[in-house]
Each structure stands twice: as C-alpha cells, then as structure tokens.
Amino acid sequence: MKVNLNEKYKTRDGLEAIIYSTTSNSPYSVHGVVKDKDGFEFLYEWNNKGSVLNSSFQHHHDLVCVRNYDHIKIDDKVIVWDDDVEENARGHFAGIDSMGNPQIWNHGKTSFTIEDKNDSVGYDYCLEWEEPHD
C-alpha cells in the first residue's frame, strides 16, 4: 500500500486517521491526525507505506486503507491484486479481513466447497469480475 490523499484511512486499532500531506521529503512523509474515541486529535507521521515505526513490527496506529466492498457478495467472481505484485489474481470473494482487506477463497473454491472457512488470502485491492462482451 502506498498512502495517498484520495483514499480514506483508519489505524490498525480502528481509529479514524485524517491525512493532510504526503509530499514531504523526510523518511516519514505522510502527515495527519488520529482521532481517539473521545474525538481528540493527535498529530502523527507515517512513512509512505503507512507505518508509524521504521521496523518490521506492526504498530496499532499504522494506517489501513478503508475501502467499501459492501456491493460485492460472498462467492462473487472478483479480480484482486497487491501494490507490489504486477499480476492480478482471480477468485471468489471471501469477505474482508480484520484490516479491511478483500479476500478470496484459496484454490478457486467457494464458501460451498471450502472445508476450512479460514482458508482465504487477502489482497490490497478488489474489483468485481465483468464477463467479456462479444
């Protein structure tokens, strides 16, 4: 994920994050605020991938992109992809994970044919599959 001003974000722990700037040349080039549950705003800086800390550890205030997948039903055919992978994947929609990322069932399965309901994989992006027109 690369943070940009055209997306809506929250923190890993579910708090609203408002991004004001992504243009700085500093290592932490994303600037904004996190609103706590009482509505107080706290200034934050993130790197361009939305991480609070420059480490491999996750922080509860790392950014998570909020996308709406309400229009896609479980088992609908979808195309999914990640920022860092050139090739798209096809599959059947398996819902969203706790971070708000879309998932597809593994091995081309559906909710009817999958044995383990946790046997899915998440991606950064998802679009409904549209049948080709003649």
2-24 pLDDT, tens digit per residue, is 888 888 998 888 899 999 999 87
For 43, 48, 55, 116, the CA distances from 58, given in Å and listed in that order, are 19, 15, 8, 27
Q: Is the pLDDT of residue 35 over 80?
A: yes
What's 50-111 look like in SS3? CCCCCCCCCCCCCEEEECCCCCCCCCCEEEEECCCCCCCEEEEEEEECCCCCEEEEHHHCCC
110-120 pLDDT, tens digit per residue, is 999 999 988 99
Distance (Å, whole) CA 113 – CA 19:
41
- pTM as predicted: 0.62
